[in-house]
Every structure is written in C-alpha cells, then in structure tokens.
Amino acid sequence: MVTIKQEQNLPPRAGHLNGVIVPEQPDKNAIEVRGVRKVFGSGENQVAALDTVSVSIRENEFFTLLGPSGCGKTTLLRLIAGFDFPTAGEILLYGQDIAPLPPFKRPVNTVFQSYALFPHMTVAENIGFGLEMLGKSKAEIKARVGEMLKLVKMEALAGRRTSQISGGQQQRVALARALAPQPKVLLLDEPLSALDYKLRKEMQIELKRLQHETGITFIFVTHDQEEALTMSDRIAVMSSGKILQVGTPWDIYDKPAERFVADFIGETNFLTAAISGMGGGKARATLKSGATIEATVAEGFQPKDNATVVVRPEHAKLTSGKGDLSGTVENIVYFGTDTHIHVQLDSGEAFTVRQQNTRSAGCGFERGDKVGIQIGNDAAQVLRD
Amino acid sequence: MANFSIKHQPGFTAIAATCFVVLYLPIIVLVFYAFNAATSTSEWGGFSLKWFQSAWQNTQVIDATVRSFQIGSVAAVLATIAATMAALATTRTAAYPGLTFKYAAINQPLMVPEIVTGVALLIFFSRIKIFTGYSGLGYLIAAHTAFCIPFAYLPIRARLENMDLTLERAAADLYATPWRTFRRITLPLLWPGILAGLMLAFVISLDDVVITEFVKSGGQDTLPTYMLGQIRRGITPEINAISTVFLLLSVAIVTLFFFISRKRD
Amino acid sequence: MATAEQVAKEAERRDVRTRWLLSAPALIIIFLAATGPLLIVLVYSLLTPGAYGDVKWQFSPEAWLSVFMERDIFDDTLSLAAAHVTIFWRSIKLAIVTTIATLALGFPTAYFMATRSEKTRDIWLFLITIPFWTNLLIRTFAVLQIIRNEGIINTILIKLGIVSAPVQILFTDTAILIGMAYVYLPLMVLPIYASMEKLDFRLVEAGYDLYASRFQVLRRIIFPLVRPGVIAGSILVFIPAIGAYVTPSVLGGGKNMMLSNLIELQFGQGRNWPLGSALSITVMIIVMVALLAYVRNAGRAEVRHG
C-alpha cells in the first residue's frame, strides 16, 4: 500500500502524548497544537470538549482526526479555524500562535460539513469570495476562479446559483472556494458525510488528487474509520476530548495502543494474557488456554503481569485439530467475500475468525464443531491499558 | 369502512366552510354596495361609481388619507430599522444577561390593550404639548413607531433564526471582516424578512384606530379615525367606497407580504 | 500579545455590548411611547381630577374607590357602583364568550386547513391571513351593514316572511358579540393552525390502531398536542376583546358600553382623568392575570411534551 511506503520515507514520528512534545523537525510542522484545552459552559455545567490535546501536523500531510461524535475532533478543527478560542494552550501555524486571531485573519480555510455555500451568489462568485475579501484585483480573481473551476471540473456551471446544482457539485464548489485563496492549511469537517455511497467513494479519490496537486496540508475530520484508513497519511484517533494515538493507517490498524483504538477501528478479538519476557518491542503472552504466543507491545506500555492482547479476526486461522486456542463454533455468518465464524472459547471468552471464501466450497465448519484457533506470527498486539 | 380516512372528523369541514363564507360574505356585501347608485345602503339602485367620485372630491377624506400615508410610511421605516437592529441583537446567541428582558420589552406593546396604551399616551403627550407647545404629527408618528416595532420584529426575527450561522462563519473563514460579512452575507439574506417587516408595520399603522383616536390633536384625523367618526354619525355609501379602496390596498400589501415571507430558498 | 482566552473574553464582552447598542433604539422608542407612559397612568390614578380635564397634583384615593363604588351625594356613604359593575361584568362576559365562540369555530377550521394537501394548505392560510390584516374598523363596518335593521339578514328574513318586522340585533350585546367573534376569529385560527400543522398524523394512526374512536382520537391525541396553540389563540382573542373599543363603539351604539368606552368617557365628557387611569390599570390587571395563567399553562404543556 502506498501509505506504508510513505511511512518509510517520513521522518521518525514525534512524541505526542499528554502534552509532551518532541518535535523532530519543528520547521516542517504546518500546525502544532500545544496543550490545548477547551471548556464549554461555566460553573457546574462545565464540559471539557478538549482535555489538554497536543499534536503536530506536518506540511503537505493528509492528516485525519478520527473519532465518534462528541470526541472533540470538530472542536479541535474549529479552534484551528478560529470559530472558537481555546481555554488554554497554543495553536502554532508555522511557528506563529494563531489561537487569539479571528478567523478572517488566519490563512486557513474550511470546507464545511453543510458546504455553507452562499445561496445568493453564483458558483463563480462563491469561489471568488475569499479572493475578493483579500482585495485581489478583478483580473486576478477571474483568472484564479477559472483555474479553480477547472481543478474541480465545474467550468460549465460557473454561472449557476448554488441551489441549482447537485450535492456532489456543491461539494466541489465548496472545495474550490476553500482552495482558491491558497490557504496554508485546508480544514475539512466531515465533508463527505452528506453524499451517498458511490459519490463518497468518488470524492475520496478526488480529494486525494486535489491534495496531491495543490500540495496543501489537509486536516480532515471524520467518524468513518474506513474513510480515514484509505485517505490519510496519518490519523489521530480521539475519544472524550483526548488524542489516544497518532500514526499511519497501518500503525493504527495493526498496532493499536489502547482498547478504544482497537475496538473503534475494525473488528478485534480481546484476550486476557499473562505477560513475560519483554524485550525489543515484543513480549511473550501466555493466554488462558495455556498457549504462549509472541506479541508486539504498544508504545507506552508499562510492564505488568496481566494485559489485554488483541488479534484481528483475519490474522487467526481455524483448524479442526489443536491450535493456540480451542473452543466450539457458535455461529457462522456469511458476508460474500468472507465468512465470520464466532467461536466460544473453552476459557469462556469469545473469538471471531474471518475466513476468505472460495467459490466452490463452504467454510468447512458447522455450528457445534470443536475447533482449534491458530494465531499467526506477529498477529497479536499487547495493549497499553 | 372501505375508505377510512384518519384525518376525518365529523362536522369539521362544514364548520370550516361556514367560517370561510362568514369571513368573506360581509366584506363582499360591503364592496358590492360601494357601487350602488342609491343613497340608502339597503336598496340596490343600479351600478354607479358616484360614491367613489364623491369620496375623491371630499377634501377631508383626501387629507386624512395623505396623513395616514405620511404617518404610516415614516413610522414603518423607523420601526423596521429599530426592529432589524433589535432582531440582530436578540437572535442566534447563547442566552446573555438582559436577553429575556429585551424580548419582554419589545413585545410589550402586544401585551397591553390598545385602549390602555391610548390613555397612557394621551396623558403623557398632553403634558409634553404643554411643555413644548409642539402639537404636530410627531406624537402620532412616535406612537405608531412604538406599536409597529413588535410587528416588524416578528418576520425579521423569524428569518434570522432560520438563517444558517455557518454561512457567516464561512465568510469570516474567507477573510471577510465582521462588517463585510454583514454587508455581503447577512443583510442580503435577511432582506426578504426586512421587507416583510416593513409591509407589516405599514399595514398595522394604517389600520390603527384606538391609539390614534386618543393621541391625535384637532384636525389630525387619519383615514380610520375619520371613518369611525362618519360611521358614528350615520352611514352613507361613501364609506363603502372608501372602505373598498382601503381593502384593495390592504389585500395588495398582504398578498405581497405573504409571498415574500413564504418564499423559501 | 493577548492570550486566546483573553481575546475570547474580550470578544464576548464586545458582543454583548454591541447587542445592547443594537437593541437600544427599539427599547428607547418603546419605553418612551408605550411602556413608560403606563407608569404615568399609575401616578394619575392617585391624583385629584381637574375641573376641565387633566389633574390637580393632589393625592386622592377617590379614583380607585370609584372603580367599583359610588359615593352618595347626600350622606357620603359608599355603595357598589351598579353601572360600573354592569360594565365590568359585560366586558368580561363578552370577552369570554367571544373566546369560546372563536375557539368553537376556529378549532375545526384550523383542523380543516391543516389536513389539506401541502399545496392547497397555503391557499387556505392565505384566505385566513387576508381578513387578519384587513382593517378592523372596515370589518366591523361590514358586520354592521349585515346585521342592521335594513341589512341583508333582516331583509331576507322579511322577504321570506319569517318575521314581519326587522329583528333588532344592532346596538345589543349580541351585536357586539357577533362583531368581536367575527373580527377576532383569524386570531384564534392562526396559532391553532400553526400547532396543528406540526402535528404528526402517524400518532393519529397509532390512536386508531389502538382502538380509539374518532372522538377519543380528537380528545386524547389531537387536542393535547395542539393545546399550546389553543391557549395562545385564546389569549390573543381575550386580550383585545376585554379592551375592545372599535367594535362596541360601532355595534353597541354607545348604549351598551364596554370598559373601553367607560374609560374614554372619563377622558371626554366625564372629565375624570384619575378615574379613567384607575380603570385602565384595572383592565391591565385583568389582562395580566390572563397572561399569567397562559404562561403557567404553556409551561405545563411544554413539560408534558418533553
């Protein structure tokens, strides 16, 4: 996958947890969020939407804030845009603190979830609005608007009112409008959520293309883990006002640091294990079944006797003989491309195995079968919590 | 029970039909007799426009009409400006100290019977008249402006509340200062509400009888107070003719208002 | 450089200040030409009437006593002022009956309008809006022409031979009632319609599904859900009805006085401004009691529907 290659090209990543920042290359950071808190309400009704968040976003990066609704991802975006002010902390844009600036003085632009196109203006007028406000000359505006229309393939509809174009087209106009003033950072607040499935897939590719062509840093907010995995260079997973983990899609999926991250992204099996023999980022985990497997260890893991181990369903194999785990088939669910086999382990835990389907045969197991489960090398990860 | 309609309620349609007929019948009869050639309003003496002509030549009628329009237009414009500003100040915000007070204060003229306001203004303005010696139309304009504000405020506030704050945020995001955001985004989108408020205020001012009756000085009859005086003295079809023209005007304004405020975008 | 927190606080302060400045013109105009003078009325009600109208600046509780009492000219004893009590009673009675009558007619009308198709609903709404904004005096005058002795109703009755002489409707309480019900009907229909339009008719379906009869659906489902509209409509009719001036002046013919006519009299021939002021405040108090009941009821209705 492309993203993995990029990971290898990128510098080693900065530390990011709980206010401790170790910026590797501070000059290359487009945005640096330092110890930002945002509290809404007052007195007893205080709610901390962001609880001391720190994160660095690199230049030219497609960076995604991922999390369930109410996790604080949109709040963070609004603080960067300037629609809200942080209660504490700094937001640096190429080294300059922009947190106290009003939105119209920040060289960042936003693509809104509802697009927020001006209904009393044409497509071209919408796209040119930012340039007009910046006091650009008529000729310059015209040229740039034309360029933008071409970029989003909307030349034919320049004179239309925004109410006369489709949702997908409105999305493109919103993008063009935000890109036209050439912002240092583009903020995208769940921009694809209003589109239907097919259009969303198209726009995902389109967004990647635009980012590549313009070379602008994108900060993308979404609650859709699949969208985050396919589009991002790096992802920050958020929950309850905190950033839990920052990493490449591959990091986030295969090396989740916490239970929440593992659970929120993809399907996962959680097993309790006794930990022994740590070293070199790996540990020996003895499962309840008695089997001992080798597992990678999450960053920031504090050595302890018992921990949670996660195994993705596609990284385990079902056998009719003995495996690392043993149990009884409880349920078999057919998904077209694959089949999920739910197993009740002898230890009492539940475990799901995902098995690729072939055309000719069934999955080879039936409900009630006694089965073994083999966990592949490098398939298990010990969580931090 | 083949066609059981869940929306049917026995007798409701009949009552509704009666209501609509009853609402319009007297008005139709009134307009009809405006074209009556006979002097009595109870007999039909053939079609004639003579009552319109007689109203047109009645200088009192013309004076009162002109006065009504003067007061109405000035009061409506002032009330709409004040109401627009007040609407901007009281919508799309988290509750702040004084907000509830403002709502109550702006709507206060709606909560007090007109007769009470009329009496209060009679007393207050008569004092000022003694003090200043001024007895022009200013008092009527002030009174009309005050009771027009809550009416003008209504559609403007409604429009504002339905307006998406994200649009203004988007403008700010695109480097528009607060003032330019107001000029380029808020005001153009609010415009239909302001227009509706202006027309409502004008109609309300034009319709007022009670407060005007108490506030006016001698020789300051507006069209409605003039008509009230005539009706009390005994009726001629001339009143029907004036009413017909007045009705036509009201209907025209209301129709315009209706379509402006219903227009969705 | 100021921190973001300070900037935010300052922006908030400035926002509140701007909002006060923006609302100032409306508040000042309303205070000077509507609310403020009400306080002067209160002061006037406690003064002595002047010989040629206005007041003498001398405290006197007489005006308030005269609201319901009258002083015997010979022995100074107080007794209930029969004339005033009659007028109060008539005003309150007529206002209540008007409210009930408009509700009885307006509720089905609003229901009818709300159950039309989306497209035609706007037409019906338009038809009710027209009279709503048409001059009240003209509409009262229209009623006068219908119900007077030579009017269309009596003419038809006589022509049909139902009565031999015209029925005297004009200048009676009935005339005032008909007039007020007529002019205030749109005020009742519009708020009920506004609530009714939002009514989710799937709830009605659910009611029928659970074995309710038409009347039970009306009473147990529709009515409770549109109650806020009904209360708002009742208040909107009751307030102008209790202080109605034009309708009793035109249709009551000066004989059947209502509170407003009594108040006007004090500022005209009566030359008793303090009494007029005291009466005005009494009307205000009645209205305030009605409004308070409304606020309490509306609050309850809101709680009930979460």
| Same domain, residue pair A326 and A364 | yes
Distance from C-alpha of C28 to C-alpha of C36, rounded to nearest angstrom:
10
Asked if C1 lies within 8 A of A88 by C-beta distance, the reply is: no
Nearest to B115 among C133, C139, C243 (CB): C243
| Same domain, residue pair A367 and A233 | no
Domain count, chain B: 1
Asked if C3 lies within 8 A of A100 by C-beta distance, the reply is: yes
Window from B6-10, B54-58, B238-242, C203-207 with minimum mean pLDDT: B6-10
Pick from A17, A119, A112, A32: which is nearest to A74 by CA?
A: A112
Q: What is the DSSP letter of A273?
A: E
- Cα distance from A61 to chain C (closest Cα, Å)? 26
Question: A352 in a domain, yes or no?
Answer: yes
Asked if C11 lies within 8 A of A86 by C-beta distance, the reply is: no
Pick from C94, C83, C37: which is nearest to C265 by CA?
A: C83
Which of these three, A199, A229, A259, is where a domain ends?
Answer: A259
Residue A12's pLDDT band (boundaries 50, 70, 90)? Answer: very low
Q: What is the pLDDT of residues A202-227, one digit of tens each?
A: 999 999 999 999 999 999 999 999 99
Pick from B243, B254, B232: which is nearest to B30 by CA?
A: B243
Residue C50's pLDDT band (boundaries 50, 70, 90)? Answer: confident
| Same domain, residue pair C162 and C250 | yes
CATH code at position A206: 3.40.50.300
Q: What is the DSSP letter of C220?
A: I
ipTM for the assembly:
0.90
Say whether pLDDT at C240 is over 70.
yes
Answer yes or no: are the C-beta atoms of C35 and C29 closer than 8 Å: no
Q: Taking residues B25-34, what's their average pLDDT? A: 92
Residue C25's pLDDT band (boundaries 50, 70, 90)? Answer: very high
Shortest CA distance from C1: residue in chain A = A100
Instruction: Fill in the amino acid letter for B238.
Output: E
In chain B, what is the straight-line distance between the N-terminal and C-terminal CA atoms, in Å?
42
* Longest Cα separation, chain A: 76
Say whether pLDDT at B151 is over 50.
yes
CATH code at position A319: 2.40.50.140
Question: A100 in a domain, yes or no?
Answer: yes
| Same domain, residue pair C151 and C276 | yes
Question: C72 in a domain, yes or no?
Answer: no
Q: Which domain holds residue A292?
A: 267-382
Question: C65 in a domain, yes or no?
Answer: no
Determine the pLDDT at residue C20. 94
Query: Strand, helix or coil at A309?
Result: strand
| Same domain, residue pair A48 and A75 | yes
- Name every chain C residue with its beta carbon within 8 A of the beta carbon of B108: 30, 34-35
| Same domain, residue pair C199 and C270 | yes
- Cα distance from C201 to chain B (closest Cα, Å)? 8
Which residue(s) pair with A350 in the sheet? A344
Q: What is the pLDDT of residues C257-273, one digit of tens each?
A: 899 999 999 998 888 99
Asked if A100 lies within 8 A of C11 by C-beta distance, the reply is: no
| Same domain, residue pair A314 and A366 | yes
- Name every chain B residue with its beta carbon within 8 A of the beta carbon of C135: 206-207, 224, 243, 246-247, 250
Highest average pLDDT, of C122-126, C134-138, C184-188, comes from: C184-188
Nearest to C152 among B29, B127, B206 (CB): B29
| Same domain, residue pair A280 and A300 | yes
Q: Looking at chain A, which subunits does it touch, using at least 3 CB pairs closer than 8 Å as the criterion?
A: B, C
Q: Taking residues A139-162, what's their average pLDDT? A: 94
Determine the pLDDT at residue A56. 95
CB atoms inside a 10 Å sphere around CB B66: 12
Q: What is the pLDDT of residues C150-174, one digit of tens each?
A: 888 888 888 888 888 888 888 899 9
Asked if C145 lies within 8 A of B41 by C-beta distance, the reply is: yes
Residue in the block written with tokens 């962001």: A50
Pick from C271, C204, C299, C280: which is nearest to C56 by CA?
A: C271
Residue B58 or A323, more confident:
B58
Distance from C-alpha of B92 to C-alpha of B181, rounded to nearest angstrom:
15
Question: A174 in a domain, yes or no?
Answer: no
Q: Taking residues B23-35, what's their average pLDDT? A: 92
Q: How many Cβ pairs closer than 8 A exist between chain B and C?
A: 268
Question: B31 in a domain, yes or no?
Answer: no
Q: What is the pLDDT of residues A351-385, one digit of tens each?
A: 999 998 888 777 788 899 999 999 988 889 999 87
CB atoms inside a 10 Å sphere around CB C278: 24
Q: Looking at chain C, which subunits does it touch, using at least 3 CB pairs closer than 8 Å as the criterion?
A: A, B
Asked if A87 lies within 8 A of C5 by C-beta distance, the reply is: yes
Asked if C5 lies within 8 A of A85 by C-beta distance, the reply is: yes
Angle at B227 between CA B222 and CA B229, to 5 degrees: 100
Length of chain B measured in residues: 265
**Range list of H helices, chain C:** 4-30, 36-44, 62-68, 82-114, 118-133, 136-147, 152-159, 173-197, 201-209, 214-217, 223-242, 246-251, 259-267, 273-304
Say whether pLDDT at B262 is over 50.
yes
Q: What is the pLDDT of residues C27-37, one digit of tens each?
A: 999 999 999 99
Specify whether the backbone of C94 is left (phi greater than 0), alpha (psi in -120 to 50) or beta.
alpha
Stated as kind and residue range, the H or E segment containing C55 is strand C55-59
Beta pairing class for A380-382 and A292-297? parallel
Answer yes or no: are the C-beta atoms of A53 and A36 closer than 8 Å: yes
| Same domain, residue pair A188 and A56 | yes
Residue A11's pLDDT band (boundaries 50, 70, 90)? Answer: very low
CB atoms inside a 10 Å sphere around CB A367: 11
Residue C299's pLDDT band (boundaries 50, 70, 90)? Answer: low
Please give, one letter per residue, the 3-state secondary structure of chain B. Answer: CCCCCCCCCCCHHHHHHHHHHHHHHHHHHHHHHHCECCCCCCCCCCECCHHHHHHHHCHHHHHHHHHHHHHHHHHHHHHHHHHHHHHHHHCCCCCCCCHHHHHHHHHHHHHCCHHHHHHHHHHHHHHHHHHHCCCCCHHHHHHHHHHHHHHHHHHHHHHHHHCCHHHHHHHHHCCCCHHHHHHHHHHHHHHHHHHHHHHHHHHHHHHCCHHHHHHCCCCCCCHHHHHHHHHHHCCCHHHHHHHHHHHHHHHHHHHHHHHHHHCCC
From chain B residues 148-177, the ones with a CB under 8 A of any chain C CB are 149, 153
Answer yes or no: are the C-beta atoms of B242 and B60 closer than 8 Å: no
Question: A340 in a domain, yes or no?
Answer: yes
Answer yes or no: are the C-beta atoms of C260 and C243 closer than 8 Å: yes
| Same domain, residue pair A191 and A278 | no
In a mutagenesis test of the B interface, which of A85, A120, A121, A175 is the best target, namely the one with the most B β-carbons within 10 Å?
A120
Q: Does C15 touch chain A (CB under 8 A)?
A: no
Instruction: Fill in the amino acid letter for C260.
Output: S
Nearest to B111 among C133, C273, C291 (CB): C291
Q: What is the pLDDT of residues B71-129, one digit of tens each?
A: 999 999 999 999 999 999 999 888 888 899 999 999 999 889 999 999 999 999 999 99
Question: B2 in a domain, yes or no?
Answer: no
Q: How far is CA A17 from CA A113, A242, A327, B6, in A?
A: 29, 9, 39, 61
Using CB atoms within 10 Å of the CB of residue C160, give its burial: 0 to 12 exposed, 13 to 18 middle, 19+ buried. Answer: exposed
Q: What is the pLDDT of residues A75-86, one digit of tens each?
A: 999 999 999 999
Question: A72 in a domain, yes or no?
Answer: yes
Distance from C-alpha of C231 to C-alpha of C191, rounded to nearest angstrom:
9
| Same domain, residue pair A282 and A233 | no
Determine the pLDDT at residue C301. 56
Asked if C22 lies within 8 A of B85 by C-beta distance, the reply is: yes
- Name every chain B residue with its beta carbon within 8 A of the beta carbon of C287: 111-113
Determine the pLDDT at residue A289. 84
Answer yes or no: are the C-beta atoms of C24 and B137 closer than 8 Å: no
Query: Strand, helix or coil at A112?
Result: coil
Domain count, chain A: 2
- Name every chain C residue with its beta carbon within 8 A of the beta carbon of B117: 34, 37-38
Q: Taking residues C274-285, what's their average pLDDT? A: 94
In a mutagenesis test of the B interface, which of A115, A118, A185 is the best target, namely the one with the most B β-carbons within 10 Å?
A118
Answer yes or no: are the C-beta atoms of B194 and B84 closer than 8 Å: yes
Instruction: Fill in the amino acid letter for A351.
Output: F
| Same domain, residue pair A58 and A85 | yes
Domain count, chain C: 2
| Same domain, residue pair C37 and C107 | no
Shortest CA distance from B170: residue in chain A = A116
- Name every chain B residue with its beta carbon within 8 A of the beta carbon of A45: none
Determine the pLDDT at residue C302. 52
- Cα distance from A39 to chain C (closest Cα, Å)? 11
Answer yes or no: are the C-beta atoms of B90 and C23 closer than 8 Å: yes
Distance from C-alpha of A344 to C-alpha of A350, rounded to nearest angstrom:
5
Question: B34 in a domain, yes or no?
Answer: no
Beta pairing class for C78-80 and C69-71? antiparallel
Q: Which domain holds residue C158?
A: 82-304
pTM: 0.86
Query: Strand, helix or coil at A58?
Result: strand
- Cα distance from A90 to chain C (closest Cα, Å)? 8
| Same domain, residue pair A24 and A51 | yes
Determine the pLDDT at residue C119. 86
- Torsion angle in degrees (nearest 10) through CA of A174, A175, A176, A177: 50
From chain C residues 255-284, the ones with a CB under 8 A of any chain B CB are 259-260, 263-264, 267, 273, 276-277, 280-281, 283-284
CATH code at position C143: 1.10.3720.10
Distance from C-alpha of B32 to C-alpha of B42, rounded to nearest angstrom:
11
Which residue(s) pair with C53 in the sheet? C51
| Same domain, residue pair C127 and C238 | yes
Say whether pLDDT at A6 is over 60.
no
Question: A161 in a domain, yes or no?
Answer: no
Beta pairing class for A108-111 and A96-97? unpaired
Which residues in A have their CB inside 8 Å of a CB on B? 81-83, 102-105, 108-110, 112, 114, 116-120, 129-130, 133-134, 163, 177-178, 181
CATH code at position B198: 1.10.3720.10
Question: A119 in a domain, yes or no?
Answer: no
Q: Does A85 touch chain C (CB under 8 A)?
A: yes
Determine the pLDDT at residue C300. 62
Asked if A88 lies within 8 A of C7 by C-beta distance, the reply is: no
Q: What DSSP string describes A165-176?
A: S-HHHHHHHHHH
Q: Which residues neighbour B86 within 8 Å (Cβ) at sequence distance 6 or greater?
A: B102, B106, B149, B153, C22, C23, C25, C26, C27
Question: C297 in a domain, yes or no?
Answer: yes
Asked if A109 lies within 8 A of B174 by C-beta distance, the reply is: yes
Say whether pLDDT at A111 is over 50.
yes
Which of these three, A232, A259, A286, is where a domain ends?
Answer: A259
Nearest to B174 among A114, A133, A163 (CB): A133
Distance from C-alpha of B243 to C-alpha of B230, rounded to nearest angstrom:
12
Shortest CA distance from B7: residue in chain C = C115
Residue A252 CA to chain centroid, in angstroms?
Answer: 9
Q: Which residues neighbour A137 within 8 Å (Cβ) at sequence distance 6 or greater?
A: none
| Same domain, residue pair A84 and A203 | yes
In chain C, what is the straight-line distance between the N-terminal and C-terminal CA atoms, in Å?
47
Shortest CA distance from A161: residue in chain B = B265
Say whether pLDDT at A7 is over 60.
no
Q: Taking residues A268-297, what's their average pLDDT? A: 87
- Torsion angle in degrees (nearest 10) through CA of A97, A102, A107, A108: 100
Pick from A24, A144, A38: which is nearest to A91 by CA?
A: A38
| Same domain, residue pair C135 and C246 | yes
Shortest CA distance from C116: residue in chain B = B7
Q: Which domain holds residue B128?
A: 59-262
Question: A121 in a domain, yes or no?
Answer: no
| Same domain, residue pair C259 and C138 | yes
Shortest CA distance from B43: residue in chain C = C150
Using CB atoms within 10 Å of the CB of residue B157, give its burial: 0 to 12 exposed, 13 to 18 middle, 19+ buried. Answer: buried
Window from A15-19, A64-68, A321-325 with minimum mean pLDDT: A15-19
Distance from C-alpha of A174 to C-alpha of A134, rounded to nearest angstrom:
18
- Name every chain A residue with its beta carbon within 8 A of the beta carbon of B173: 81-83, 103-104, 108-110, 178
Say whether pLDDT at A13 is over 50.
no
Which residue(s) pair with A328 in the sheet? A344, A370
| Same domain, residue pair C91 and C150 | yes
Residue A143's pLDDT band (boundaries 50, 70, 90)? Answer: very high
Beta pairing class for A47-58 and A62-66? unpaired
Q: What is the pLDDT of residues B189-203, one digit of tens each?
A: 999 999 999 999 999
Q: Taking residues C234-249, what's their average pLDDT? A: 92
User: Average pLDDT over chain B, rounded to whole?
Assistant: 91
Q: How far is CA C47 from CA B179, C67, C69, C267, in A?
A: 52, 14, 17, 14
Asked if B170 lies within 8 A of A133 by C-beta distance, the reply is: no
Question: B170 in a domain, yes or no?
Answer: yes
Say whether pLDDT at A93 is over 70.
yes
Q: Does B146 touch chain C (CB under 8 A)?
A: yes
- Name every chain C residue with its beta carbon within 8 A of the beta carbon of A87: 5
Answer yes or no: are the C-beta atoms of A98 and A91 closer than 8 Å: yes
Pick from C248, C141, C166, C19: which is nearest to B31 by CA?
A: C141
Q: What is the DSSP letter of C219?
A: I
Q: What are the start-end ranges of the E strands in chain A?
A: 29-40, 47-58, 62-66, 88-93, 96-97, 108-111, 185-189, 217-222, 234-239, 242-247, 269-279, 282-287, 292-297, 306-311, 316-319, 325-334, 338-345, 350-356, 370-375, 380-382
| Same domain, residue pair A292 and A218 | no
Which of these three, A259, A292, A318, is where a domain ends?
Answer: A259
